[in-house]
């Protein structure tokens, strides 16, 4: 049996920061991550708003530094996918396909995943022109026309990134205004390889073997149109990775973990950090703060047992 003081599920910026703080507190701590550490942050081309990097830093580089620091301090990281949980009682039981773990405290930092449009063609052309990660797939669309769907920071920033490869990038957004930071919108509008199709929604993604066109509908007039595209990059929000916790923790209507100001969940000894919780802002900086708070609250909880 693998017994720990603390187990962290999820290795994004929140989980890695929690690991740094917990390891420095001399807790016996293990982080379980089903993929590569770093989460969605590791797929971001450039992060400009994380303190200490005035020239910006790539998400993969920043997350690698997080991982190196955590492991240097003694955090144990295992690449395993959690398949079952028992949160009842003082000892928490965590099952993976390879092992069974026990811990006296648990931090959930499983993050979120991209939300889909749910339109015809989206699932059919996934990997054949439809993508949710410009950093991962942008280079495949050199000298091609692509569409970016969304109006938040991710959509605008990744649209800018795609202009390095694509011949033209069209941003499709259902409203006139944007949720993205104004400075990012201004840069995008000044980019000659970027154009905007506003007050429109994607109705269908069309093609034969690969994406060839995107069908649109104007939300004000109802008029339908089609624009050519060989790639569609979708950034319409995220959903929390909380399927494991349904019926075990209090979740809100959107599926995010509900917690108090100190990141205590509805179950004693279980804490939450990062994008998986109900929070007004989902950024690397806020995830880092969450990770620190959750780890320190876990340490206090363990000391009181």
Q: Which residues are marked as active site?
A: 133, 136-137
Classify 189 as helix, strand or coil. Answer: helix
Q: E strand or H helix at 303, and its extent?
A: helix 284-304
Beta-bridge partner residues of 29: 6
Residue 304 exposure: Cα atoms within 13 Å on the Cβ side: 10
Beta-bridge partner residues of 239: 113
Beta-bridge partner residues of 216: 202, 225
Classify 16 as helix, strand or coil. Answer: helix
> CA-to-CA distance for 41 and 24, rounded, in angstroms?
23
Beta strand 211-218 with 200-207 is: antiparallel
Which structure tokens are listed for 33? 């991550």
């Amino acid at each position: 049996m693998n017994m720990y003081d603390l187990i962290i599920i999820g290795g994004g910026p929140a989980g890695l920061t929690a690991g740094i703080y917990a390891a420095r507190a001399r807790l016996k701590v293990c982080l379980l991550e089903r993929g590569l550490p770093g989460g969605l942050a590791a797929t971001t081309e450039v992060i400009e708003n994380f303190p200490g990097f005035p020239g910006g830093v790539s998400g993969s580089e920043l997350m690698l530094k997080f991982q190196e620091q955590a492991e240097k301090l003694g955090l144990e990281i295992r690449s395993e996918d959690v398949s079952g949980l028992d949160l009842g009682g003082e000892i928490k039981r965590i099952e993976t396909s390879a092992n069974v773990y026990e811990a006296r405290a648990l931090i959930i930092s499983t993050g979120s995943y991209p939300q889909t449009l749910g339109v015809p063609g989206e699932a059919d052309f996934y990997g054949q022109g439809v993508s949710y990660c410009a950093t991962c797939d942008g280079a495949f669309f050199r000298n091609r026309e692509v569409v970016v769907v969304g109006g938040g920071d991710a959509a605008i920033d990744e649209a800018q990134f795609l202009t390095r490869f694509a011949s033209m990038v069209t941003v499709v957004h259902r409203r006139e205004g944007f949720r993205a930071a104004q400075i990012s919108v201004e840069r995008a509008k000044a980019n000659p390889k970027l154009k905007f199709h506003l007050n429109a929604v994607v109705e269908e993604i069309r093609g034969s073997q690969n994406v060839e066109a995107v069908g649109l509908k104007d939300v004000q007039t109802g008029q339908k149109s089609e624009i050519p595209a060989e790639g569609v990059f979708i950034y319409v929000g995220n959903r929390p990775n909380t399927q494991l916790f349904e019926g075990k923790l209090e979740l809100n209507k959107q599926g995010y973990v509900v917690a108090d100001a100190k990141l205590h969940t509805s179950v004693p000894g279980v804490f939450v950090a990062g994008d998986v919780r109900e929070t007004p802002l989902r950024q690397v900086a806020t995830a880092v703060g969450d990770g620190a708070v959750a780890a320190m609250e876990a340490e206090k909880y363990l000391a009181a047992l």
